[in-house]
């Protein structure tokens, strides 16, 4: 019910929204919960386990009950807290965990079966037979469990991530936070003030206590105006700080557009849904306030039973009275403000029940002292409560019970770096330990200081402390007068009696469940939590954990500090994975790298292959070719018979210069480069320090102190880091510098018997066996462009690689293709490149798989005996040179079924096909059009000694079981005459 | 976590690649036990540890970072090139 003239929203615009299909009116600035209460809707959802009717309990992000679903399809948001979701024109929200409707929920039968669903129910019931677990129990439990549901569609919303930096991060904008921000801001510090609510002010918006002779919210408004005018202060509303991390890093979730109607139409909306901030703060002031805790008594979960502080918030901020005959149940003085404020607003107070005999007298209403509420009645909303006092039990009619068991300081962020909170007796609550988070100071209610004056004082002091550390001068704090009433609280966690008294509303955990856990010896608070599910799910037990452990302490005969708390972990409020991973979907997750030849390849209909982030042409289909194999065979053949063109720019290219360049290369590679002649290229093998092969590639010496080395496409980044390691960490005194030039040069293989002829029309220089002998290199003028020409071959043919600055890559590729095609050649892709190199027994990272040694590859001869190189000592271990290691061989099929598949394992014919008989495995395979049969490369035990033997090839994945002959890995032109000629 | 690169200043740990303990490479000709220790054996203390980090998304510097593994406190950062980890050559 909305009270005219009450609340801070005078003159606010009316807004239409719907809940469970019913259209209603609210006011701008209302949360969904406030607007529903204004429409006298208390029943908002159903509980997790028993499907009990539930209403809103709180007015903040700790809300356990009033969770709703908004949006549909890819925009569906489950478990939206009605206490945070602001209404907007056209908002459609619905209850969850109920069917067919929140009023009549079929699953409410669970409540009747409650005796069976006690603590540990799952563990006791679904134990046997074991086979039932996967097929029956788990699907059944999964189906019944959970609150809101996902739509199953891809999330259509956009998220952002952002970084921010500041001197002081102030978390929370109540009196302590505002005072801290003012003090720090006035001293000139860079301040970020984060507030999870849509409006700054914290409890000042919910209370009527005055500051400096004016209403608290007016003081807050003035403070905010002052802060807003400061260039060094950034105010962030709807931003919950979710975690504290090392070195002053904080995570924060900004709800950017949940409150805006256009988000739900997407079109025209350019705002993300949420933004996840990483804030690097030199210092932080935690002023996160406190969360009021309920009292456990029989049936304390009915709609209409709410936190006393929340009732004040609905009344004083939104002008909404949650009932017409309100009762209050409390154990502390502060809660009496609820009765006072309601009475002054003209709402009837049926009674105030205080568990303390020395409770204060209030205003024009009855205060029953030394009494307890021991039960409630009503169907979908509370209708009456039962009060037990020295005079016996008495029933009081009421439609709203405000309760307060005291306040729990929000210590969560102080515990994210492993600190445990400490028990403070006078406020019966856990408060942050001193120095819990380096650089963080706590102030106000989160520190256990519950008066407004105390909050202002601590806020100013916290800021002064931080400013001193920053070396800034703090002006003497000018603290306004404010309420400084004593808190006065007496312990009251659970009212004794029969029946179910709820602790954790969200997970349906009762006092009885916690006691049962204790009886079954789940005495540790962490065990109790897992056994009962206390404190799990979206609210993480924000209002219930302390009461639950108090009950556990009582049941196990320990004190509360002895019992201890469970572990507080980030995030403080639920954070969508989409927000944390913002930007990391599709291309954002995996950026695409395109070659300079990409456009031309696409134009020719090439099928693309992803190689790391690169896209490379796999093959270029011609009209009439119906399978990749046809294209691949043709491309292999054109290289063998004429000339083929292939973009090889993806190989890592590192430009190495300096007097010690050769020395560094000698150190990196097993073989020697310092002796390489200028104008020559050499193949090199690189080991890891543990002696296994890391990478291979060719290096060209362009000048005395200038080399260009190439890495494989896959290992380019790894090799660069390895090389930096060698140069910076191991040999900082060497005179050598290097940089990646992979993207600066476009490089094309020109391979085949007609390659020399093609190049002679293309480059200005005369290309012949003298000027560019096999493994020769040098500068070349490519159609007027200064480029480089290398006579190297990855196909076994007479071949070159021609390189030009990347900006000429596209045009050179087109020109090369035009000339090649005129000579009966053309483009070839990765498939053909792979077949060509397998025919020659040349290795790639299919062979260099991290477990092979130079010896396995038959390259032990490349390991120089004359010099030290990375990995040399470890490569000499006898196990790495053992004859029975799996070593590189070639395979060709024998018999009728001719198939070789990569990944297949090899066995001696007659042996069982079992792991212990494994003789090796196939690393690369393809069909050789040159030889007319499939070929493969494999690692086989004692391989080179078994040439001519027959092995059995088994590939369970593809259902292949065939025989192969072990042959030399070089299938074609073993003497290498074609490449050298 | 934030690491202060001597060249770039304080940066988020996402810019860095972690290698492991910062050890001095054995001298040329050291026996295999020394190499085995260098390549495979680690102390794993709960407390200060010298580590190697690579400023991969920054200046490509290898850094020797002294970090308390129990608290993640960064006690010291220096360029690995000035840390004498290359051993005798």
Q: E-assigned strands of A901-981?
A: 905-907, 920-928, 933-941, 950-955, 960-967
Are the Cβ atoms of B62 and A278 closer than 8 angstroms? no
CA atoms within 13 A on the CB side of A224: 22
Contacts of A874 in chain B (CB under 8 A): 32, 35-36, 39
Residue in A closest to B22 by C-alpha: A729
Decide if pLDDT at A278 tops 80. Answer: yes
Q: For residue A938, count other CB atoms closer than 10 A to its CB.
A: 29
Distance in angstroms (rounded) separating the CA atoms of residues A72 and A59: 25
Decide if pLDDT at A266 tops 60. Answer: no
Q: For residue B69, what pLDDT band results from cuts at 50, 70 and 90? A: very high
Mean pLDDT of A887-892: 97
User: Quick one: pLDDT at residue A100?
Assistant: 79
Are the Cβ atoms of B35 and A873 closer than 8 angstroms? yes
> Is the Cβ of A690 closer than 8 Å to some Cβ of chain B?
yes
Could you tell me the two tokens for A641? 């018979």
Q: For residue A262, what pLDDT band results from cuts at 50, 70 and 90? A: low
CA atoms within 13 A on the CB side of A445: 24
- Residues A137-179: tens digit of each pLDDT: 767 666 666 678 888 888 888 899 999 999 999 999 999 999 9
Q: How far is B22 from chain A (nearest CA, A)?
A: 10
Distance in angstroms (rounded) separating the CA atoms of residues A769 and A679: 13
- Residues A709-736: tens digit of each pLDDT: 999 999 999 999 999 999 999 999 999 9
Residue A282: its H or E element: strand A274-286
Positive or negative, the CA dihedral A175, A176, A179, A181 is negative
> Is the Cβ of B44 closer than 8 Å to some Cβ of chain A?
no
Decide if pLDDT at A614 tops 80. Answer: yes
Query: What are the φ and ψ backbone dihedral angles of A925, each rounded to 5 degrees?
Result: -150, 155
**Peptide bond connecting A189 to the previous residue in cis, omega within 30 degrees of 0:** no
Could you tell me the two tokens for A64? 């356990």
Q: Give SS3 for A52.
A: coil
Are the Cβ atoms of A249 and B10 closer than 8 angstroms? no
Mean pLDDT of A62-66: 95
Our measurement of the distance from residue A203's CA atom to the centroid of its chain's CA atoms, rounded to an integer in Å, reads: 33
Query: What are the φ and ψ backbone dihedral angles of A126, each rounded to 5 degrees?
Result: -100, 35
Domains in chain A: boundaries: 1-154, 159-290+409-470, 294-405, 501-556, 593-650+744-837, 652-740, 883-980
Decide if pLDDT at A607 tops 90. Answer: yes
Residue from the list A689, A729, A876 with its beta carbon closest to the beta carbon of B81: A729
Nearest to A352 by CA among A343, A365, A334: A365
Q: How far is B24 from chain A (nearest CA, A)?
A: 9
Sheet with strand B74-79: strands edge to edge: B17-21, B48-54, B62-68, B74-79
Q: Are A694 and A727 in contact (CB under 8 A)?
A: no
Mean pLDDT of A876-886: 93
User: Quick one: pLDDT at residue A268?
Assistant: 57
- Residues A381-409: tens digit of each pLDDT: 999 999 999 999 999 999 999 999 999 99
Pairing type for strands A367-369 and A348-354 reads parallel
Which 8-state DSSP code applies to residue A729? Answer: I
Domain A652-740 has CATH 3.30.70.1400: yes
- Residues A500-547: tens digit of each pLDDT: 999 999 989 999 999 999 999 999 999 999 999 999 888 999 999 999
Domains in chain B: boundaries: 2-82
User: Quick one: pLDDT at residue A104?
Assistant: 81
Nearest to A105 by CA among A144, A156, A59, A160: A144
Our measurement of the distance from residue B24's CA atom to the centroid of its chain's CA atoms, rounded to an integer in Å, reads: 10
Mean pLDDT of A867-872: 94
Domain B2-82 has CATH 3.30.2270.10: yes
Which 8-state DSSP code applies to residue A197? Answer: S
Q: For residue A14, what pLDDT band results from cuts at 50, 70 and 90? A: very high
Q: For residue A114, what pLDDT band results from cuts at 50, 70 and 90? A: confident
Distance in angstroms (rounded) separating the CA atoms of residues B49 and B87: 19
Are the Cβ atoms of A730 and B85 closer than 8 angstroms? yes
Residue from the list B1, B10, B56 with its beta carbon closest to the beta carbon of A246: B1
Nearest to A665 by CA among A701, A621, A613, A639: A701
- Residues A745-779: tens digit of each pLDDT: 999 999 999 999 999 989 999 999 999 999 999 99
Percent of chain A surpassing pLDDT 90: 87
Q: For residue A650, count other CB atoms closer than 10 A to its CB.
A: 21
Mean pLDDT of A684-695: 97
Q: For residue A608, what pLDDT band results from cuts at 50, 70 and 90? A: very high
Q: E-assigned strands of A225-273?
A: 233-236, 239-245, 249-255
Interface of A with B in 274-333 (CB under 8 A): 278, 280
Percent of chain A surpassing pLDDT 70: 97
Pairing type for strands A191-194 and A92-95 reads unpaired
User: Quick one: pLDDT at residue A146?
Assistant: 62
- Measure the CA angle with vertex A489, ends A486 and A490; round to 5°: 150
User: Quick one: pLDDT at residue A666?
Assistant: 97
Distance in angstroms (rounded) separating the CA atoms of residues B87 and A648: 38
Residue from the list B10, B62, B87 with its beta carbon closest to the beta carbon of A725: B62
Mean pLDDT of B6-18: 95
Decide if pLDDT at B12 tops 60. Answer: yes
- Measure the CA angle with vertex A251, ends A249 and A256; round to 5°: 140
Distance in angstroms (rounded) separating the CA atoms of residues A751 and A735: 37
CATH code assigned to A159-290+409-470? 3.50.50.60
Q: For domain A883-980, give the CATH superfamily.
A: Aminomethyltransferase beta-barrel domains (2.40.30.110)
> Is the Cβ of B2 closer than 8 Å to some Cβ of chain A?
yes
Decide if pLDDT at A456 tops 80. Answer: yes
Q: Which residues contact A9 (CB under 8 A, 6 or more apart)?
A: A27, A28, A29, A30, A317, A318, A319
Length of chain B: 89
Q: How far is A868 from chain B (nearest CA, A)?
A: 7
Distance in angstroms (rounded) separating the CA atoms of residues A834 and A801: 17
CATH class of A593-650+744-837: alpha beta
Q: Give SS3 for B86.
A: coil
User: Quick one: pLDDT at residue A898?
Assistant: 83
> Is the Cβ of B15 closer than 8 Å to some Cβ of chain A?
no
Interface of A with B in 885-944 (CB under 8 A): none
Mean pLDDT of A290-309: 97
User: Quick one: pLDDT at residue A711?
Assistant: 97
> Residue A591 burial by CB count (10 A; 0-12/13-18/19+): exposed, middle or buried?
exposed
Distance in angstroms (rounded) separating the CA atoms of residues A70 and A790: 63
CATH code assigned to A294-405? 3.50.50.60
User: Quick one: pLDDT at residue A442?
Assistant: 98
Conformation bin of residue A294: beta by default, left when phi > 0, alpha when psi is -120 to 50: beta
> Is the Cβ of B49 closer than 8 Å to some Cβ of chain A?
no
Our measurement of the distance from residue A472's CA atom to the centroid of its chain's CA atoms, rounded to an integer in Å, reads: 37
Distance in angstroms (rounded) separating the CA atoms of residues A350 and A385: 11
User: Quick one: pLDDT at residue A106?
Assistant: 78
> Is the Cβ of A435 closer than 8 Å to some Cβ of chain B?
no
The CATH number of A1-154 is which of 3.30.360.10, 3.40.80.10, 3.10.20.440, 1.20.58.220?
A: 3.10.20.440
What CA–CA distances, in Å, run from A275 to A68, A157, A272, A278?
Answer: 21, 11, 7, 10
Nearest to A607 by CA among A794, A795, A831: A831
Nearest to A936 by CA among A916, A909, A962: A962
Q: E-assigned strands of A603-730?
A: 607-611, 614-619, 644-647, 652-657, 681-687, 693-703, 706-711
Contacts of A277 in chain B (CB under 8 A): none
Distance in angstroms (rounded) separating the CA atoms of residues A854 and A863: 8
Decide if pLDDT at A737 tops 80. Answer: yes
Instruction: Indicate the average pLDDT of chain A.
Output: 94
- Residues A25-40: tens digit of each pLDDT: 999 999 999 999 999 9
Pairing type for strands A348-354 and A325-330 reads parallel
Nearest to A308 by CA among A287, A322, A288, A324: A322
User: Quick one: pLDDT at residue B88?
Assistant: 62
User: Quick one: pLDDT at residue A53?
Assistant: 92
Are the Cβ atoms of B89 and A247 closer than 8 angstroms? no
List, in sequence order, every residue forming a beta bridge with A803; answer none if it has no partner.
Answer: A747, A788
Q: For residue A954, what pLDDT band results from cuts at 50, 70 and 90? A: very high
- Residues A615-626: tens digit of each pLDDT: 999 999 999 999
């Amino acid at each position: 019910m909305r009270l005219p003239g009450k609340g801070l929203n005078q003159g606010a615009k009316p807004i239409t929204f719907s809940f469970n299909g019913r259209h209603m009116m609210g006011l701008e600035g209302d949360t969904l919960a406030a607007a529903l209460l204004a429409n006298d809707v208390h029943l908002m959802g159903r509980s997790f386990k028993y499907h009990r009717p539930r209403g809103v309990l709180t007015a903040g992000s700790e809300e356990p009950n009033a969770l709703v679903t908004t949006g549909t399809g890819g925009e569906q948001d489950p478990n939206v807290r009605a206490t945070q979701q602001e209404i907007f024109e056209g908002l459609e929200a619905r209850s969850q965990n109920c069917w067919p409707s929140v009023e009549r929920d079929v699953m409410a039968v669970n409540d009747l079966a409650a005796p069976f669903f006690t603590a540990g129910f799952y563990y006791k019931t679904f134990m046997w037979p074991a086979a039932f677990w996967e097929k029956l129990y788990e699907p059944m439990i999964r189906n019944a469990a959970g609150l809101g549901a996902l739509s199953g569609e891809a999330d259509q919303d956009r998220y952002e991530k952002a970084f921010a930096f500041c001197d002081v991060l102030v978390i929370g904008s109540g009196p302590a936070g505002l005072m801290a921000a003012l003090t720090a801001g006035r001293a000139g510090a860079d301040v970020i003030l984060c507030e999870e609510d849509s409006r700054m002010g914290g409890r000042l918006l919910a209370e009527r206590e005055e500051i400096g002779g004016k209403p608290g919210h007016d003081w807050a408004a003035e403070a905010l105006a002052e802060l807003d005018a400061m260039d060094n202060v950034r105010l962030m509303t709807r931003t919950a700080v979710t975690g504290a991390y090392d070195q002053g890093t904080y995570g924060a979730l900004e709800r950017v557009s949940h409150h805006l109607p256009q988000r739900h139409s997407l079109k025209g909306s350019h705002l993300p849904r949420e933004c996840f901030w990483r804030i690097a703060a030199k210092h932080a002031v935690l002023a996160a306030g406190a969360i009021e805790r309920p009292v456990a008594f029989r049936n304390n979960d009915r709609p209409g039973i709410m936190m006393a502080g929340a009732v004040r918030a609905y009344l004083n901020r939104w002008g909404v009275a949650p009932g017409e005959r309100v009762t209050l149940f409390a154990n502390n003085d502060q809660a009496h403000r609820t009765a006072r404020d309601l009475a002054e607003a003209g709402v009837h107070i049926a009674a105030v029940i205080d568990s303390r005999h020395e409770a204060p007298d209030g205003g024009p209403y009855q205060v029953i002292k030394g009494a307890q509420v021991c039960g409630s009645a009503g169907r979908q909303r509370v209708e009456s409560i039962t009060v037990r006092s020295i005079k016996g039990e008495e029933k009081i009619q009421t439609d709203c019970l405000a309760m307060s068991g005291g306040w729990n300081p929000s210590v969560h962020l102080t515990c994210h770096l492993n600190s445990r909170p400490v028990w403070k007796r006078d406020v019966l609550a856990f408060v942050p330990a001193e120095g819990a988070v380096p650089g963080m100071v706590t102030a106000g209610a989160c520190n256990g200081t519950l008066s407004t004056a105390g909050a202002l004082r601590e806020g100013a002091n916290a800021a002064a402390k931080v400013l001193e550390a920053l070396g800034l001068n703090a002006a003497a704090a000018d603290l306004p007068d404010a309420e400084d009433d004593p808190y006065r609280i007496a312990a009251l966690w659970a009212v004794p009696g029969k029946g179910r008294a709820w602790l954790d509303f969200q997970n349906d955990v009762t006092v009885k469940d916690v006691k049962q856990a204790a009886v079954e010896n789940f005495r540790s608070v962490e065990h109790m939590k897992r056994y009962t599910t206390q404190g799990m799910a979206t609210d993480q037990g924000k209002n219930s954990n302390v009461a639950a452990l108090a009950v556990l302490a009582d049941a196990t005969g320990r004190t509360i500090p002895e019992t201890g708390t469970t572990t507080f972990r980030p995030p403080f409020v639920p954070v969508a994975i989409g927000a944390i991973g913002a930007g990391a979907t599709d291309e954002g997750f995996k950026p695409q790298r395109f070659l300079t030849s990409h456009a031309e390849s696409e134009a020719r209909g090439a099928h693309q292959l992803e190689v790391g982030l690169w896209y490379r042409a796999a093959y270029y289909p011609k009209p009439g070719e119906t399978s990749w194999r046809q294209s691949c065979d043709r491309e292999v053949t054109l290289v063998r018979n004429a000339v083929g063109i292939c973009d090889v720019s993806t190989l890592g290219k590192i430009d190495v210069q300096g007097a010690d360049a050769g020395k560094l290369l000698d150190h990196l590679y097993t073989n020697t480069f310092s002796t390489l002649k200028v104008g020559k290229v050499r193949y090199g093998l690189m080991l890891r320090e543990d002696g296994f092969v890391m990478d291979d590639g060719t290096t060209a010496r362009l000048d005395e102190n200038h080399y260009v080395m190439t890495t494989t496409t896959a290992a380019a980044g790894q090799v660069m880091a390895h090389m930096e390691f060698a140069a910076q960490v191991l040999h900082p005194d060497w005179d050598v510098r290097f940089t990646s030039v992979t993207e600066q040069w476009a490089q094309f293989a020109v391979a085949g018997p007609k390659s020399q002829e093609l190049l002679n029309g293309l480059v200005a220089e005369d290309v012949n066996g003298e000027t560019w002998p096999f493994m020769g290199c040098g500068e070349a003028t490519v159609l007027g462009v200064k480029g480089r020409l290398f006579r190297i071959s990855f196909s076994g043919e007479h071949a070159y690689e021609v390189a030009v600055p990347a900006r000429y890559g596209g045009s050179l590729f087109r020109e090369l293709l035009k000339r090649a095609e005129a000579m009966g050649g053309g483009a070839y892709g990765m498939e053909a490149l792979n077949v060509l190199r397998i025919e020659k027994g040349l290795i790639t990272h299919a062979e260099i798989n991290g477990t092979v040694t130079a010896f396995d590859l038959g390259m032990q001869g490349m390991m120089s005996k004359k010099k030290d190189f990375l990995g040399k000592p470890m490569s000499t271990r006898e196990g790495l040179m053992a004859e029975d290691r799996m070593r590189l061989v070639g395979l060709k099929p024998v018999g009728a079924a001719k198939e070789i598949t990569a990944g297949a394992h090899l066995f001696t014919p007659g042996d069982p096909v079992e792991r212990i008989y494994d003789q090796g495995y196939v690393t690369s395979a393809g069909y050789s059009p040159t030889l007319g049969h499939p070929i493969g490369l494999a690692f086989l035990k004692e391989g080179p000694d078994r040439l001519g033997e027959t092995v059995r090839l088994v590939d369970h994945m593809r259902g292949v079981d065939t025989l192969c002959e072990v042959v030399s890995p070089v299938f074609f032109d073993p003497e290498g005459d074609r490449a050298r000629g | 976590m934030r690491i202060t690169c001597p060249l770039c200043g304080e940066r988020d740990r996402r810019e860095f690649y972690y290698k492991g303990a910062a050890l001095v490479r054995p001298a040329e000709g050291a026996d295999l036990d020394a190499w085995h220790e260098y390549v495979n054996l680690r102390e794993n203390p709960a407390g200060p540890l010298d580590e190697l980090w690579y400023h991969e998304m920054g200046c490509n510097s290898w850094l020797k970072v002294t970090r308390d593994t129990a608290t993640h406190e960064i006690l010291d950062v220096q360029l690995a090139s000035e840390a004498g980890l290359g051993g005798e050559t």
